[in-house]
Amino acid sequence: MAEAEAAQLKEEGNRHFQLQDYKAATKSYSQALKLTKDKALLATLYRNRAACGLKMESYAQAASDASRAIDINSADIKALYRRCQALEHLGKLDQAFKDVQRCATLEPRNQNFQETLRRLNTSIQEQLRVQFSTDSRVQTMFEILLNENSEADKREKAANNLIVLGREEAGAERIFQSNGVALLLQLMNTQRPELVLAAVRTLSGMCSGHRARATAILHAVCIDRICSLMALENEEMSLAVCNLLQAIIDSLSGEDKREHRGKEEALVLDTKKDLKQITSHLLDMLVSKKVSGQGRDQALNLLNKNVPRKDLSIHDNSRTIYVVDNGLRKILKVVGQVPDLPSCLPLTDNTRMLASILINKLYDDLRCDPERDHFRKICEEYITSKFDPQDMDKNVNAIQTVSGILQGPFDLGNQLLGMKGVMEMMVALCGSEREADQLVAVEALIHASTKLSRATFIITNGVTLLKQIYKTTKNEKIKIRTLVGLCKLGSAGGSDYGLRQFAEGSTEKLAKQCRKWLCNTAIDTRTRRWAVEGLAYLTLDADVKDDFVQDIPALQAMFELAKTSDKTILYSVANTLVNCTNSYDVKEVVPELVQLAKFSKQHVPEEHPKDKKDFVDLRVKRLLKAGVISALACMVKADSAILTDQTKELLARVFLALCDNPKDRGTIVAQGGGKALIPLALEGTDVGKVKAAHGLAKIAAVSNPDIAFPGERVYEVVRPLVSLLDTQRDGLQNYEALLGLTNLSGRSDKLRQKIFKEKALPDIENYMFENHDQLRQAATECMCNMVLNKEVQERFLADGNDRLKLVVLLCGEDDHKLQNAAAGALAMLTAAHKKLCLKMTEVTTQWLEILQRLCLHDQLSVQHRGLVIAHNLLSADAELARKLVESELLEILTVVGKQEPDEKRAAVVQTARECLIKCMDYGFIKPVS
């Protein structure tokens, strides 16, 4: 019984394989393998499962299955060839060559085997040539670099060549095998910045995607030395070392997705100890006075990127727990630094914000209340330990720490605000004579008033205090911060026109003062940033945002600030632009509920007249004219944890709003908007990725892809567009994604192949069944381009599906645009395969009537495609041609062929005449003298 069931499962697997459902085929073969002991059947099943592995690009599995089949029958030629194919893809050319050599010995006349033999022989010879030349090149480069008498340009060229070589797998391995790590350490010992940089960048390339090499390099160079280089006051060096450490971490943790090959596959290394050591050293860097501001930023960036889980479905958060237990106090110390105090650690403008983001990520990564309570307890103990009546500097550090936490996990910050003495200390510091104390207190008040309930409390208790400081202080830094505090409290009602905290016109006055400071280049960048922070709150008011976009100097000043090295401004700029473009989510107001609210005398949100579409469109035009795209493109490139997923979502919203009008998309593309949208569509929040993908779809639908997404970037656009074909997305997103994919699929077969590999075909086919006319038309137009791809044609050739029938029936629809697309697809399919010409006559009894209607169509493009289909059918088979000649189609062809071929109708008349000539060739009709 088991053997019979195994044989049945094998047949079932074969059927799935023919239908190109390789996953299901693999499952059937695997089930059959468990049921049989028959050696011949076992060999067949392993061989067939190897074929599935090749199709699904699981080459290691395919090679393993083929080997098992060969173990049973060493002369199994199919299994040998499949193993050869798998080994070739895995880069094991010498082993692949041996397999195909055996195949060629067993079947010497097989042209396929002979061709593969020749190709592999050429590849192996080339590999050997490269290897030998690489060895000598590596030696030469080190000789030039380590020779103090070498010319400067020769040394620079050798350094660059070494870096490039280290990024290639073959080159990296040759450097490693040729005692290259010791020589690179010699370069680092020269202490010449350009040579040390070259050595670090070469090591980065060598570590990427190779766990064993990364481990060896980490131990050879030593983590202490790596961290000491990153701590230097040299931005370029610090970034290069950060990239080296990231490459090592990726390789050790398995985050590097590159397929490991050769001996690397067999290595099982326990990397936890090394990863823990790296984390420990990074935490120590945070509180060391010897570390530069740049070095501290890079350490925080690495911790932000590698400690919290990227996917919360993964249960293990041990890295976060380790950092909380061993490093949270160190992170809090960075957050609590006050730049104006003499004890302050070296910082950049971004350091405290990076530390706040890290605290936020660590807190979000905790799994249960006991873990969160432990986290809060450490924060409370740290802040309480800082309160000291005898030492005002310590009190300032405590309030600065609370302020930093409020910029991270807000719930935790709110709990800390409720601690005894915190709010009192803020108020006391506001009244201090020291300006450093006032600065910290005002910033803390600003961050404390984020929630409406908290803001209302501070409006009642703190506005008078803020106004008093604003009037009395002569320090611009304090004045601007108190103004932002007032801005934030004034905007506590959000975009609700009817809910205002301050008197009519107050917000416009505050905004005017913010714009004035923003344009004042005499004020330092860090202080001007607060002006943007104020506008981020005030632009919720429609009068403010309308005035702001008309102030071109203020807009351009904000864009210039967004391009500076101070990345703490990114969120405020993004927020301001979201407000100006009204790209925030607005809850739909149900009229019945509004009436009910009015009846019960509840507050009803009101829309400002200047928030209507005409005003928004005008604001978008002004922003584009002021150069918003170049600022957004620069913001997206920020390689920093400060560019959080929330900020990316805001930027995606702005981009989508800017792309709304098709006339503006050319400007967006010209200024680099297309390229900037790609990373936003690939990383960030789910909402942000969908918004960015929709923006990409709008651009891809109307732009030349070669200009909008130059080079290899165009292939990165495909996945975001395919993600919009989901039924959970709205109809407009589906439609514009289909238009974008149609445009891309018309460019090259490589792009069509990419769309096919992203599994877009089933979705495109589903939309061809859609009731919505525009969606159905867009999907059919996309399919019209996709049928040029061989793998798509194979889907139509496969038995047991209605794909061809659907296309034939769509040719008979009344919508001429839909007919045109469907006829185009059918013309290309019937031109590619004679089998499809015969299949077309079997899928529906209406095929001939539909074809005749196409050939008589009043739209010339549709008529031409119909005549091309007729010509393909006539050329495919003599019996089919006879059937067509015996129908009314001959009369149609004769009438069309006799017409005078004017400029518009030339192609139509010519195709009809070619059909008639084909009939004459068969002898079915004769020419009239």
Instruction: Give 572-597 as a DSSP string.
Output: HHHHHHHHHHT-S--PPPPHHHHHHH
Residue 886 has pLDDT above 50, yes or no: yes
A 10 A CB-CB count for 785 gives 23
The CA distances from residue 17 to 55, 244, 341, 570, 798, in Å, are: 10, 45, 72, 52, 11
Tokens 């990345």 locate to 567
Contact 542, 609 (CB under 8 A): yes
Residue 131 is predicted with a pLDDT of 55
Residues 6+ positions from 3 with CB-CB distance below 8 Å = 35, 36, 37, 38, 41
Rounded mean pLDDT of 607-629? 88
**What is the C-alpha separation between 430 and 396, in angstroms, rounded?**
11
Rounded mean pLDDT of 845-854? 93
Q: Which of 70-79, 260-269, 752-761 shows the lowest mean pLDDT across its residues?
A: 260-269
Concatenating the DSSP letter of every residue in 888-918 gives THHHHHHHHHTS---TTTHHHHHHHHHHHHH
Residue 594 has pLDDT above 80, yes or no: no
The CA distances from residue 385 to 332, 388, 398, 412, in Å, are: 12, 8, 8, 18
* Tokens read off for 745: 């699929």
Residue 796 has pLDDT above 50, yes or no: yes
Residue 455 has pLDDT above 50, yes or no: no
Task: Identify the band that residue 91 occupies on the pLDDT scale cut at 50, 70 and 90.
Answer: confident
Residue 456 is predicted with a pLDDT of 54
Q: What is the pLDDT of residues 10-65, one digit of tens each?
A: 999 999 998 888 999 999 999 999 888 888 899 999 999 999 999 888 898 999 99
Q: How far is CA 857 from the centre of its chain?
A: 45
Rounded mean pLDDT of 814-841? 92
Residue 472 is predicted with a pLDDT of 81
The CA distances from residue 51 to 23, 40, 415, in Å, are: 11, 17, 60
Amino acid in the structure at residue 551:
D
Residues 6+ positions from 771 with CB-CB distance below 8 Å = none
Rounded mean pLDDT of 290-305? 94
Q: What is the pLDDT of residues 139-163, one digit of tens each?
A: 777 778 777 777 777 777 888 888 8
**What is the C-alpha separation between 544 and 493, in angstroms, rounded?**
14
Residue 452 is predicted with a pLDDT of 44
Q: What is the pLDDT of residues 157-201, one digit of tens each?
A: 888 888 888 888 878 888 888 788 888 888 888 888 888 898 999
Q: What is the pLDDT of residues 596-609, one digit of tens each?
A: 555 565 544 566 77
* Tokens read off for 551: 């102030």
Choose between 486 and 110: higher pLDDT. Answer: 110
Contact 852, 889 (CB under 8 A): yes
Residue whose C-alpha is closest to residue 238's, from 202, 192, 303, 291 = 291
Residue whose C-alpha is closest to residue 162's, from 183, 148, 147 = 183
Residue whose C-alpha is closest to residue 238's, from 222, 250, 226 = 226
| Mean pLDDT estimate for the chain | 86
Q: Which of 604-618, 650-664, 765-779 shows the lowest mean pLDDT across its residues?
A: 604-618
Contact 742, 750 (CB under 8 A): no
Contact 485, 442 (CB under 8 A): yes
Residue 85 has pLDDT above 60, yes or no: yes
Tokens 């008011």 locate to 541
* Tokens read off for 629: 């795209």
Task: Identify the band that residue 311 occupies on the pLDDT scale cut at 50, 70 and 90.
Answer: confident
Give the residue ranges of DSSP H helices in 336-419.
351-364, 369-386, 392-406, 410-417
Classified as helix, coil or strand, 376 is helix
Domains of the chain, by residue range, sit at 1-132, 368-475, 493-587+607-679, 826-928
Residue whose C-alpha is closest to residue 506's, from 494, 518, 523, 489 = 489
Residue whose C-alpha is closest to residue 891's, from 876, 870, 872 = 870
* Opening angle at CA 564, ends 561 and 569, nearest 5: 55
The torsion angles phi and psi of 568, rounded to 5 degrees, stand at: -65, -15
Rounded mean pLDDT of 325-339? 94
Cα dihedral 255/717/784/803 (nearest 10): 30
Burial bucket for residue 825 (CB in 10 Å: 0-12, 13-18, 19+): buried
Contact 700, 708 (CB under 8 A): yes
Task: Identify the band that residue 259 occupies on the pLDDT scale cut at 50, 70 and 90.
Answer: very low
Count Cα atoms within 13 angstroms, Cβ side, for 551: 21
* Tokens read off for 319: 């890295």
**What is the C-alpha separation between 248 and 302, in angstroms, rounded?**
11
**What is the C-alpha separation between 201 and 477, in angstroms, rounded?**
41
Cα dihedral 409/410/412/414 (nearest 10): 170
State the CATH class of domain 1-132: mainly alpha
Residue 624 is predicted with a pLDDT of 93
State the CATH class of domain 493-587+607-679: mainly alpha
Classified as helix, coil or strand, 343 is coil
Considering Cα of 170, then 171, then 174, then 176, what sign does the dihedral take? negative
Classified as helix, coil or strand, 242 is helix
Considering Cα of 330, then 333, then 339, then 342, what sign does the dihedral take? negative
Considering Cα of 519, then 524, then 529, then 535, what sign does the dihedral take? negative
Q: Percentage of residues in the chain with pLDDT exceeding 90?
A: 49
A 10 A CB-CB count for 120 gives 21
Task: Identify the band that residue 490 occupies on the pLDDT scale cut at 50, 70 and 90.
Answer: low
Burial bucket for residue 646 (CB in 10 Å: 0-12, 13-18, 19+): middle
Contact 549, 580 (CB under 8 A): yes
Q: What is the pLDDT of residues 383-421, one digit of tens each?
A: 999 888 788 888 899 999 998 998 888 788 888 888 888
Residue 459 has pLDDT above 60, yes or no: no
**What is the C-alpha separation between 881 and 921, in angstroms, rounded?**
11
Considering Cα of 724, then 727, then 728, then 729, what sign does the dihedral take? positive
Residue 734 has pLDDT above 90, yes or no: yes
Concatenating the DSSP letter of every residue in 20-72 gives T-HHHHHHHHHHHHHH---HHHHHHHHHHHHHHHHHTT-HHHHHHHHHHHHHH
Task: Identify the band that residue 763 occupies on the pLDDT scale cut at 50, 70 and 90.
Answer: very high
Residue 426 is predicted with a pLDDT of 80
Residue whose C-alpha is closest to residue 465's, from 448, 533, 695 = 448
Considering Cα of 880, then 881, then 883, then 889, what sign does the dihedral take? positive
**What is the C-alpha separation between 691 and 652, in angstroms, rounded?**
6
Q: Percentage of residues in the chain with pLDDT exceeding 70?
A: 91
Residue 444 has pLDDT above 70, yes or no: yes
Residue 258 has pLDDT above 70, yes or no: no
SS3 content of the chain, % helix, strand, coil (to 5): 75, 0, 25
Count Cα atoms within 13 angstroms, Cβ side, for 374: 15
Q: Which of 46-50, 562-566, 784-788 shows the lowest mean pLDDT across its residues?
A: 562-566
The interaxial angle of helices 816-832 and 834-843, nearest 10 deg, is 130
